[in-house]
Structure 1
Amino acid sequence: MNVTVCGCGRWGSFLAWYTAEKCGHAVTLYGRESSARFQQLAQTRSNGMLTFPESVRFSSDLHAAVQSAQTVVISIGAQNLRSFLQELSEAECAGKTFVLCMKGIEASTGLRLTQVVRTFLPNIDLAVWVGPGHVQDFQQGIPNCMVIDSDSDAVKRRVVKIFESPLIRFYFGNDLLGNEVGAAAKNVIGIAAGMLDGLNKTALKGALMSRGTREVGRLIKAMGGQEITAYGLAHLGDYEATVFSRYSHNRQFGEDFVRGVPYDKLAEGVPTVTALLELGERCKVDLPICKAVDAVINGGQEPNQVLGSLFLRSIKREF
């Protein structure tokens, strides 16, 4: 099996290594020629955490990389997906399976990432790969559980067969909308968790996790998905990796933000919170945690006061 991974960031690089080393496939890792990170990977065959086997080759030719593969994995920033897809044609993607290994919602439109793909490539086989896991843990041989979902059962089975290994136990998802929204929304909860850490209110993370899952579940249901999906691996199951882990970009962003420390890595929860609030308005669902995060990072409001007010809301039934 020839697999191309598009995106040479932390997760994309891991996926290329994992697919070659653990699944035994021939892998092409695509990155832009102008990317210093890609040049380092191509020259050293290492990113400082992982050393790539010989079955991984590097390419800065997107069209050649896509055309050479039966399966194409995309792992880039969610807000860059539209411009990335504009470079591809339906003809060169025909007959291939595409797998989105990224979490987010397009901020400018509120579209889920599979909806963005379908705008350009309406007929391809398409799946998402979501759930918990950090490169640093996988590198040490610590396994985890993740979800493959698609609007096609045959595509789900095919993708799991391609990528299964003892390091990752896959589950079949049965709610594509819910898994996409849940995976994106957990990054916003991660920012809120980091803010609590930065304000020395870490003890409130339990309440944050419980109420955050309820909030996201209500939105998923209103959008036409299954509320229970918020309690699965794509959202609640990913909280340890997002709400607590020192490797979480979103948690670290939130902590640094309230402490006034610059943060230069990608935190997908920042554009996602804008999209979630737009979806909440469309679906008439109150999203108090999302509103609080937005008020702090985009509204310039005082973090301690905003987050404190979340826990001083009117008394109501828990469920």
Structure 2
Amino acid sequence: MNVSVLGCGRWGSFLAWYAARVGHEVVLWGRESSLNLARFQAERRNEYLTLPPNVRLSDNLEEALAHAEIVLLSIGAQEVRSFAAQLVKQKNWRGQTVVLCMKGLESDSGKRLSQVFAEESGRSDNLAVWLGPGHVQDFVAGIPNCMVIDSLQEHLTRQIVAAFHSPLIRFYYGQDLLGCEIGAAAKNVMGLAAGMLDALGYGSLKGSLMARGAREVSRLTVALGGNALTAYGLSHLGDYEATLFSAHSHNRKYGESFVRKEAFGKLAEGAATAVALREIGCRVEMPISQAVYEILFDAKAAPEKLVDLFLRMPTTEF
């Protein structure tokens, strides 16, 4: 199958590496100005991996679309709307299957990324998401993991799983697109909170953060029309180890750096997601997400806001 990966950052380059590894002919696209693409063109490698021979590099979006039966999209969540609008104007756009491979919500509207892309493209039947735990460094080292594919069309979900399943990634069929997207995005906010706890020396509280964080996201998912159990699946709770504990997690490291007042130069989607959750989460109680927002954007002191979460009045667990 012909696969085009749009976006050549850490995750996009892994997707190209992985798609080629499972037998597809791959085009990896990056913008002409992309330093990541320039390095691949010069060396065919980055700090994480070396591209196999069946990955072709391109900075031409028309060329990438002409090649593609399936498009794997891996860009910043806040770029999805503008990029989708650009994509569907290309002459080689044929309504190809698009798999959104990033985790986040549109900060201005609080909308899920599949909603954003569908609004710009005019259709939702060709959209899927690829979510769940796993770091590039571990996959390239041969350490397997489980992930989830979801869409509004069961046959599309099954088609994508069949195309990418391998011993390195065991895929599950998602059954709640809304819940998977909300959970995957909100997981990054919990990652920020975990990093803040680490910076304060409160790492032992991350177990409670996991339990109550999943409960908080479950409440929101139900309020939005999703399945309460999805928060306890691979897209959210299943991704906590990779986000709350891993040294590779950008969101955890961002939260830690923020509290320590240190610069952090890489993308951490959790900050924008905290804004989006404030937009859509007002109908349910979301104390962890609210605390993270106030620390990041209202200059509230992290020690007091985070410790206050554990000093709230007793209540039933479920």
TM-score range, shorter chain: over 0.9
- When the two structures are superposed, what TM-score results if normalisation uses the length of structure 2? 0.98
What TM-score do you get using the length of structure 1 for normalisation? 0.97
Q: Which residue of 1 aligns with 2:106?
A: 106
What are the within-5 Å matches in structure 2 for residues 94-243 of structure 1?
94-123=94-123, 125-243=126-244
- For residues 160-218 of structure 1, the C-alpha deviation after alignment (integer angstroms, 9 at most, x for no partner) is 11111110000000000000000000000000000000000000001000000000000
Q: Percent identity, please.
A: 55
Partner of 1:277: 278
Distance 1:89 1:266 in 2: 26
What SS does the aligned partner of 1:308 have? helix
Q: Distance in 1 between matches of 2:141 and 2:95?
A: 36
Distance 2:148 2:47 in 1: 27
For 1:287 and 1:95, how far apart are their aligned partners in 2? 38
Amino acid in the other structure paired with 2:205:
L
Segments of 5+ residues of structure 2 without an aligned counterpart are none
Which letter does structure 2 place at the counterpart of 1:84?
Answer: F
Counterparts of 1:186 and 1:303, CA distance in 2: 19
Task: Tell me the secondary structure at the aligned position of residue 99 of structure 2.
Answer: strand
Between the aligned partners of 1:315 and 1:189, the Cα distance in structure 2 is: 22
Task: Find the aligned partners of 2:179 and 2:48 in 1 and give their Cα distance.
Answer: 33
Following superposition, the deviation at residue 67 of structure 1 comes to 2.1
Two-structure CA RMSD over aligned residues (Å): 1.0
Q: Distance in 1 between matches of 2:92 and 2:84?
A: 12
- The aligned amino acid for 1:270 is A
Q: Give the match for residue 63 of structure 1.
A: 62
- CA–CA separation in structure 2 for the residues paired with 1:212 and 1:107: 20
- Structure 1 gap ranges (5+): none
In the TM superposition, what is the alpha-carbon distance from 1:95 to its structure 2 partner? 4.3
Task: Tell me the CA shift for residue 38 of structure 1.
Answer: 1.1
Letter paired with 1:7: G
* Alignment correspondent of 2:5: 5
Distance across 2 between alignment mates of 1:200 and 1:89: 48
Q: Which ranges of 4 or more aligned residues in structure 1 deviate by more than 6 Å?
A: none
| Number of residues of Structure 1 aligned to a counterpart in Structure 2 | 316
Question: Structure 1: how far apart are the matches of 2:165 and 2:109?
Answer: 34
Alpha-carbon distance in 2 for matches of 1:51, 1:88: 28
In 2: Cα distance, 1:93 partner to 1:119 partner? 16
TM-aligned CA deviation for residue 93 of structure 1:
2.9
In 2, the alpha carbon distance for the partners of 1:49 and 1:207 equals 33
Q: Secondary structure, in 3 states, of the residue corresponding to 1:73? A: strand
Mean Cα displacement is larger for which, 33-42 or 137-146?
Answer: 33-42
Is contact 2:85–2:121 with CA below 8 Å preserved after alignment? no
**Cα distance, 1:92 vs. partner?**
3.4
